[in-house]
Amino acid sequence: MRRPSKVTRPSSGSSRPNRQLNSVVFPAPMSPTTRVMDAGASFIVADLSVMTEVRRVAAEFRAGHSRLDVLLNNAGAVTTSRQETPEGIEMTFALNHLNYFLLTQELLDLLKATPDSRVVNVSSEAHRSGRMRWDDLEFRKGYSGFQAYGQSKLANILFTRELSYRLAGTGVTANALHPGVVYTGFGQGGAGLAGRLVSLSYQIMRPFIKSEEQGAQTSIYLASSPEVAGVTGQYFDNERVARPTTTRQRRGCGPSARST
């Protein structure tokens, strides 16, 4: 499978992509909200924590294309205090997970129409500390930024497994991955003790943290390598299959998500 010749990335409303709010990999249409980055690449300005914006991104792409080779969902944020989107959804769950779910659903017909297409969901090893709070997914009680983040990244993996099960026989594969600890400034600048601890951790661990290029390698591998053609429902770390922690998270999940 060759790499897509064009790339479009939904991004925040600034003049350059916000690293916490990208990305989707697919051929790039031009529209009033599409900005050119370089030859063969562009991004659509959108707030991916807002579901109406996610639907708009998908609609803009569908309007200009009849195929989609690779959908790479990559979004992440940690908030030290509970916040809600303009639609009233808890911010971490909306941006880190519902965004993935809805954008994939909105583009599913194009994925099915494209031979050997792939869905790649960027999760995190932080999922191991997560627990699905099925009765309080939005942390209305006892909010913890790190617990909310862990839950959202665990939800990414459960969604990937269920998606792979439901897409069996369509030719579309779905896999999740851990990019590693990457020096992007992610999680820094937060308020309070938690924000200061994250910044301090980055400083201490800097010699051992991956560069942005290194952190992208597993995403690129799953999006383009012939080695994983036909592989689906898996979780990868450093370009290798790893075993995620999904035990006791099975409420409402299909057979693929129930396999641990």
pLDDT tens per residue, range 188-222:
455 555 555 555 554 555 555 657 676 688 999 99
- Residues 217-260 have pLDDT tens digits of 899 999 999 999 999 999 999 999 999 987 555 555 555 444 54
Sheet (strand 41-45) strand order:
7-11, 41-45, 34-38
Mean pLDDT over all residues of the chain? 80
Section 21-43 average pLDDT: 51
Residue 152 has pLDDT above 80, yes or no: yes
* The pLDDT of residue 64: 86
* The pLDDT of residue 42: 72
- Residues 1-17 have pLDDT tens digits of 445 556 666 765 544 44
Q: Give the least confident one: 35-44, 156-165, 229-238.
A: 35-44
Say how far apart CA 179 and CA 237 lie, in whole Å.
Answer: 7
Q: Which CATH architecture has domain 67-179+216-258?
A: 3-Layer(aba) Sandwich (3.40)
* The pLDDT of residue 41: 72
Q: In whole angstroms, how large is the CA radius of gyration of the chain? A: 17
What is the pTM (predicted TM-score) of this model? 0.78
Catalytic (active-site) positions: 149
* The pLDDT of residue 63: 92
Q: Is residue 87 very low, low, confident or very high in pLDDT (cuts 50, 70, 90)?
A: very high
Residue 73 has pLDDT above 60, yes or no: yes
Q: Is residue 54 very low, low, confident or very high in pLDDT (cuts 50, 70, 90)?
A: very high
* The pLDDT of residue 114: 96
Residue 183 has pLDDT above 80, yes or no: no
Residue 126 has pLDDT above 70, yes or no: yes
